[in-house]
Amino acid sequence: MSELDQSLTHYANVLTSTFQKDIRHIPGAGAAGGLGAGMLAFFNARLESGITLVLDATKFKSHLNHADLVITGEGRLDHQTPYGKTPIGVAKAAKELDIPVIAFAGQLGEGYEAIFNNGIDAAFSIVPGAFH
């Protein structure tokens, strides 16, 4: 286990014993080095998906009413993309209306193919040779 992992485990243990809240398995609690965990413990905050907030605030789905295609993008599409990155949130919204989705990225990283099971129909790197 790396030093960072050990430190974050210790941090979670301290928060659990101090506040009687086990935040280890709350989605988003480990993001940004445990910032979500701190917000939950110290401020009794509620964590929400960033992409869900943005899609709701912009009334994204209402802009899809007459769309034939949705194009989205990310700096890197890889095996982590299905876990809360913007292109997946955009794709899921588009798929509710059966609209095809194309994603462009600076790089198609290892395991990027997982995006195809999450609403994206095609993906392309915009940088020649930027694969894995």
pLDDT digits (tens, 9 = 90+) for 83-117: 889 999 999 999 999 999 999 999 999 999 999 99
Among residues 58, 78, 76, the alpha carbon closest in space to that of 118 is found at 78
| Percent share of the chain, pLDDT over 90 | 52
Per the CB < 8 A criterion, the answer to whether 47 and 40 are in contact is yes
- Residue 123: predicted pLDDT: 97
Q: How far is CA 49 from the centre of its chain?
A: 8
Q: How far apart are the first and last CA of the chain?
A: 25
Enclosing H/E stretch for 101: strand 101-108
**131: pLDDT strictly greater than 70:** no
* 45-49, 54-58, 67-71, 96-100: segment of lowest average pLDDT: 45-49
